[in-house]
């Protein structure tokens, strides 16, 4: 029997007991997918039931970061039971990603690129949220595409109860675009949970801190967003340093919070998970 997407009710909307966090950034390549995956794994390691929706449809990298990509370069496939989709599980996290639905023939023809327009994206995200069987979740994380595009607005409509976490690098220019994506979230009625600064000072072998991408961007975004909402200040949740272990964990598909929990990046990420 055919059914329109989203015919099932939205399990994570207002009134649900699941805490929903959408992670956004002003631009790509700032470590959003890597940090989102690590946060999810860190929360699951505490015994929470965690789901992760990779809504970064143009730049999906969650399956790779969580070790859900096979030798053939293809992401793990969800299991289908009747008309429900069961998400693959990595390190205790139930994960769904566009990368899991790309048909192999198409992937080899396009290199896995997805060129979709707004309405189709909206339908896909709706389907991820309604047709994927996550069961009862304590926490649902959404990895949003960078910028202020269609998906962020869809999430704002579908999950107005989501708390938004804004990710930025320490650079002033990055801080500006990150602030803008935070403001879009606010316009769609979402609460700004806080800011995470990533790629902060790198600790060299002699202990000297090298600020490769400058300093202060995270505090600046938090300050500017707070200025616009004096009744609900937006905190800087953590500053995650540049870390070889974190980068390697992403490449190897073993998140650094598990592979090297004592690494300063893991400690910073765990401290955010602790308060979520
Ligand atoms: P985004 O999702 O924002 O596009 P990714 O999570 O894919 O960014 O990260 C981009 C690259 O930067 C990846 O290779 C990742 O391993 C690396 N990276 C992210 N954060 C750090 C960090 N704190 N230290 C070192 N490398 C990092």
In the predicted model, is pLDDT for residue 113 greater than 70?
no
Break the chain into its structural domains and give their ranges.
19-275
Element at 196 (helix H, strand E):
strand 191-200
Count the Cβ atoms, other than its own, within 10 Å of residue 259.
15
Q: What is the pLDDT of residue 6?
A: 47
Is there a binding annotation on residue 29?
yes
Mutate to test the pocket of ligand 1, among 24, 25, 31 (most ligand atoms within 8 A of CB): 31
Largest CA-CA distance found in the chain, in angstroms, rounded = 65
Is there a binding annotation on residue 46?
no
Is domain 19-275 annotated with CATH 3.40.50.300? yes
Please state, in angstroms and rounded to a whole number, the distance separating the CA atoms of residues 40 and 37.
Answer: 5
Least confident of 154-158, 167-171, 265-269: 154-158
Q: Single out the residue of 243, 236, 276 nearest to residue 257, CA to CA.
A: 243
Please state, in angstroms and rounded to a whole number, the distance separating the CA atoms of residues 174 and 151.
Answer: 20
For the chain, what percent of residues have pLDDT higher than 70? 90
Identify whether the C-beta of residue 219 lies closer than 8 Å to the C-beta of residue 170. no
The residues, any chain, with a CB within 8 Å of residue 240's CB and separated by 6 or more, are: 31, 35, 196, 197, 198, 199, 200, 246, 265, 268, 269
CA of 23 to the centre of ligand 1 (A): 14
Least confident of 29-43, 54-68, 111-125, 156-170: 111-125
Whose alpha carbon is nearest atom 12 of ligand 1?
A: 31
Q: Which residue has the tokens 């505490």?
A: 46
Spell out the long-range contacts of 245-253 with Cβ–Cβ below 8 A and sequence spacing 24 or more. 246/31, 246/34, 246/38, 247/34, 249/34, 249/38, 249/65, 250/34, 250/37, 250/64, 250/65, 252/67, 253/64, 253/65, 253/66, 253/67, 253/68, 253/69
pTM > 0.90: yes or no: yes
């Amino acid at each position: 029997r055919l059914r329109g997407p989203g015919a099932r009710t939205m399990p994570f909307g207002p009134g649900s007991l699941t805490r929903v966090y959408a992670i956004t950034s002003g631009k790509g390549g700032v470590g959003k997918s890597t940090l989102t995956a690590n946060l999810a794994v860190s929360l699951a390691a505490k015994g929470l039931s965690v789901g992760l929706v990779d809504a970064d449809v143009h730049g999906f990298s969650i399956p790779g970061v969580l070790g859900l990509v096979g030798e053939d370069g293809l992401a793990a496939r969800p299991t289908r039971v009747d008309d429900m989709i069961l998400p693959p599980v990595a390190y205790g996290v139930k994960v769904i990603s566009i990368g899991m639905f790309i048909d192999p023939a198409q992937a080899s023809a396009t290199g896995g690129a997805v060129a979709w327009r707004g309405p189709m994206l909206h339908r896909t995200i709706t389907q991820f949220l309604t047709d994927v069987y996550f069961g009862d979740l304590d926490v649902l994380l959404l990895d949003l595409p960078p910028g202020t595009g269609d998906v962020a607005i869809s999430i704002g409509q579908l999950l107005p109860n989501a708390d938004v976490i804004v990710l930025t690098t320490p650079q002033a220019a990055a801080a500006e675009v990150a602030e803008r994506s935070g403001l879009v979230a606010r316009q769609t009625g979402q609460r700004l949970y806080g800011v995470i600064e990533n790629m902060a000072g790198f600790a060299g072998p002699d202990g000297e801190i090298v600020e490769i991408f400058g300093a202060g961007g995270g505090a600046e975004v938090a300050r500017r967003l707070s200025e616009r909402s004096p009744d609900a200040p937006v905190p800087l949740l953590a500053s995650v340093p540049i870390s070889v272990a974190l980068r390697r964990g992403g490449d190897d598909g073993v998140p650094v919070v598990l592979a090297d929990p004592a690494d300063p990046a893991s400690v910073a990420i765990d401290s955010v998970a602790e308060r979520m």
